[in-house]
Chains A and B, each alone.
Chain A
Amino acid sequence: MSAHPAAAVPHLGTVVEALSHKRSRLLKEKAIQMLLMFAALVAVFTTIAIVSILLIESLRFFEEVSLVDFLTDTLWTPLFADPHYGILPLISGTLTVAAVALIVAIPMGTIIAIYLSEFAHHRVRETVKPFLEMLEAVPTVVFGYFALLFVTPLLQNTILPNLPGFNMLAPGLVIGIFITPYISSVAEDAMRAVPMAMREGAYAMGSTKLQVALRIVTPAATSGIVAAYVLAVSRAIGETMVVAIAAGLNPTLTFNPMEPAATITAYIVQVALGDLPHGSLGYQSIFAAGLTLVLMTLGFNIFGHWMRKRYREAY
């Protein structure tokens, strides 16, 4: 090395250059990593923003309206001359529509999942699934049109001649049909994840396909099936356009699906359509309603999480 001092000078230069090149490369890498991390953190910021905006506006709302009135008053008329702020009518509407939807969707979704996972021929399954997924993809405003101008008249002309033009039954039924694929696809995934050996064991004991499906696969997949139900409940509670179009916008404390009533989501839409000034009590009321909606969804999700933990089977 020391025998060639002349050669060492340019060599040293390239080393320095390489090092500085490496440093700028590292810096660039670090900067990119920070940028990507920021993108990932947007999800966290979004949650924080949702919670804080709902809380801040709701707190302003509850400075004017007492929480007791909010939870016990049976009238919701924030836009009237004599305003009442009882959330119960909106909750009853929301729960009634969701109940009708789930009465349709839970049995249908479960049966379709069992059928596709355990009974259907491979080719049938591959043909049917894209069409079921199409049900999820259709804009809900289209289903609102369908509920108001097809299902309600159909019910009026056949079995329920006294059904009013706006009612909770038709939107409930339509929502039930279009959340069915949510249940069937998630539940089917859970069922297909059940190990084949368990089915084979049952077949070896002489079980029929139905016995395997109902007594082996379904219990083993309970955790996933409950997850599917929770997803469906969240969808049914949060669905907006179908009810805003077909259920009427009049908050009524009733659990009768044959009557018109407003849901929490429909109320938010109704207020947003009018031009309420920023900061008014009416403006704040939609955030209080939204907070109620989020808490209801959260409640069902926690319940679902608890159920899943209780029935979790690991293989």
Chain B
Amino acid sequence: MDVTMRTTAPSRAPQMADMRGLIASGKRKQVLFAALGLFCTSIALLTLMAAFLNLLIDGLPRLSFDFLTSFPSRRAEQAGILSAWVGSALVMLVTMFAAVPLGVGAAIYLEEYAKKNWITDIIEINVTNLAGVPSIVYGLLALGLFVYQFGFGQSVLSAGLTLALLILPIVIVATREALRAVPGHMREAAYALGATRWQMISGHLLPYSMGGIMTGVIIGMARAIGETAPIITIGALTFIAFLPESPITAAPPFINFDWLWTQFTVLPIQMFNWVSRPDRAFQLNAAAAGVILLLMTLAMNACAIYIRYQVRKKIKW
């Protein structure tokens, strides 16, 4: 005992110093890493800002009411995005009417009906895998299936259905999460009053999870409106100087579906067409179209975030 005391006592001081050094260097490294993390985050955010600012600076001077109400033109100063945004709106309409019932229906089936068997497993695997398929592959699918096999041609209908398939996984996943958030006792209460399964779903589950479903649908639509590659692949034109017939007519039956079959262009394709030209004036047009596109996407995402926030605030089970 005495011996060990004697041998360790003199060496204790340097050991403590070592420890202090070790702790100090550990703390230094920790601060350095935090700084590195902050640096990387800032690079990502600064790039985002640079992209926005660059687009705004180039595009804002070209933005005007005329730009929104003119057809594309050979002369850059007279060109506008009328046919492009009308085309985008019509395609989105088809996408919504196809993706919402299919996506919500599939989600309800998987959450509320599906038994644990091989069919369910296959559906689940497919939903997961489809989310990872490159978007241009959907374009090839649509080109082969909708355009030629079904004979829909290079139309608004083909494009809308293509984008609907593309955003289906987004809608399904969001809806499933919203349904899962409704507690089990709400279901049991409805059953206890004699509701059938569908009465329980349509009268209770869907209204309660509407916020979550809407969020998913809007995020999906925001994704769809910016998608370019699949629409180019099915053969959308880049130069359209006419508008399809209006969906609403003055004469009975007041609704007209001819627009489904017309050729069209969409906003991102118009932008792509302009940015690919060497003429600077057209590239500025592209920037202006990009500003509109970006505003629409961001507005939709902001909408989704707002709804999600409201739902979280309001609903307490």
Residues of A at under 8 Å CB distance from B? 25, 28-29, 32-33, 35-44, 46-47, 49-50, 53-54, 56-57, 107-108, 111-112, 114-116, 119-120, 128, 130-135, 137-146, 148-150, 174, 177-178, 180-181, 208-211, 213, 231, 234, 237-241, 244-245, 265, 268-269, 272-273, 275, 278, 286-287, 290, 293-294, 297, 301
Residues of B at under 8 Å CB distance from A? 26-27, 29-30, 33-34, 36-38, 40-41, 43-45, 47-48, 50-51, 54-55, 58, 101-106, 108-110, 113-114, 122-123, 126-127, 129-130, 132-141, 143-145, 148, 165, 168-169, 172, 196-198, 219, 222-223, 225-229, 232-235, 238, 268, 271-272, 275-276, 283, 286-287, 290, 293-294, 297-298, 301, 305
Decide if B102 touches A238 in the complex (CB within 8 Å): no
- Nearest chain A residue, comparing its CB with the CB of B41: A112
Decide if A49 touches B145 in the complex (CB within 8 Å): yes
Decide if A143 touches B37 in the complex (CB within 8 Å): no
**From B103, B141, B283, residue with most partner A Cβ within 10 Å:** B141
- Decide yes or no: A273 and B238 within 8 Å by CB, A119-B37, A149-B54 being known contacts: yes
Decide if B228 touches A141 in the complex (CB within 8 Å): yes
- Decide yes or no: A39 and B228 within 8 Å by CB, A44-B122, A57-B144, A120-B37 being known contacts: no
A149 to B227, CA, bound (A): 20
Decide if A145 touches B134 in the complex (CB within 8 Å): no
Chain A residues with Cβ under 8 A from B139's Cβ?
268, 272
Decide if A32 touches B33 in the complex (CB within 8 Å): no
Chain A residues with Cβ under 8 A from B196's Cβ?
25, 29
Decide if A146 touches B106 in the complex (CB within 8 Å): no
- Nearest chain A residue, comparing its CB with the CB of B274: A145
Decide if B126 touches A137 in the complex (CB within 8 Å): no
Could you write out 12 A-B pairs with CB less than 8 Å apart? A25-B196, A29-B198, A39-B101, A40-B109, A43-B127, A137-B298, A143-B51, A146-B55, A210-B30, A234-B134, A269-B232, A290-B137
Decide if A29 touches B297 in the complex (CB within 8 Å): no
Closest approach, in angstroms, between the C-beta of A79 and any C-beta of chain B? 16
- Decide yes or no: A36 and B108 within 8 Å by CB, A43-B130, A44-B123, A142-B51 being known contacts: yes
Closest approach, in angstroms, between the C-beta of B229 and any C-beta of chain A? 4
Chain A residues with Cβ under 8 A from B165's Cβ?
42, 46
Q: Is the interface of B mostly helix, strand, loop or mixed?
A: helix
Decide if B135 touches A142 in the complex (CB within 8 Å): no
Selected contact of A46 from candidates B33, B126, B287, CB within 8 Å: B126
Chain B residues with Cβ under 8 A from A33's Cβ?
109, 113, 197
Chain A residues with Cβ under 8 A from B106's Cβ?
36, 39-40, 42-43
Selected contact of B102 from candidates A42, A57, A141, CB within 8 Å: A42
8 extra interface residue pairs, beta carbon distance < 8 Å, beyond A36-B106, A128-B45, A138-B297:
A39-B104, A49-B141, A112-B44, A142-B226, A150-B50, A234-B134, A241-B228, A273-B238
Decide if B223 touches A137 in the complex (CB within 8 Å): yes
Chain B residues with Cβ under 8 A from A42's Cβ?
102, 106, 165, 168
- Nearest chain B residue, comparing its CB with the CB of A208: B26
Selected contact of A50 from candidates B55, B58, B133, B235, CB within 8 Å: B133
Closest approach, in angstroms, between the C-beta of B215 and any C-beta of chain A? 13
Chain B residues with Cβ under 8 A from A116's Cβ?
37, 41
Decide if A278 touches B148 in the complex (CB within 8 Å): yes
Decide if B126 touches A287 in the complex (CB within 8 Å): no
Chain A residues with Cβ under 8 A from B109's Cβ?
33, 36-37, 39-40
- Nearest chain A residue, comparing its CB with the CB of B19: A206
A141 to B135, CA, bound (A): 13
Chain A residues with Cβ under 8 A from B298's Cβ?
134, 137
- Nearest chain A residue, comparing its CB with the CB of B128: A43
Decide if B226 touches A39 in the complex (CB within 8 Å): no
Closest approach, in angstroms, between the C-beta of B55 and any C-beta of chain A? 6
Closest approach, in angstroms, between the C-beta of A191 and any C-beta of chain B? 13
Decide if A50 touches B141 in the complex (CB within 8 Å): yes
Closest approach, in angstroms, between the C-beta of B25 and any C-beta of chain A? 9
Closest approach, in angstroms, between the C-beta of B81 and any C-beta of chain A? 13
- Decide yes or no: A37 and B113 within 8 Å by CB, A50-B141, A268-B139 being known contacts: yes
Closest approach, in angstroms, between the C-beta of B171 and any C-beta of chain A? 11
Chain B residues with Cβ under 8 A from A241's Cβ?
228-229, 268, 272
Selected contact of A131 from candidates B48, B286, B287, CB within 8 Å: B48
- Nearest chain A residue, comparing its CB with the CB of B284: A149
Closest approach, in angstroms, between the C-beta of A223 and any C-beta of chain B? 16
Selected contact of A119 from candidates B34, B140, B276, CB within 8 Å: B34
Chain A residues with Cβ under 8 A from B54's Cβ?
146, 149-150
Closest 9 interchain pairs by CB?
A115-B37, A238-B134, A139-B226, A39-B105, A53-B144, A240-B229, A36-B109, A40-B106, A208-B26
Selected contact of B50 from candidates A28, A29, A37, A146, CB within 8 Å: A146
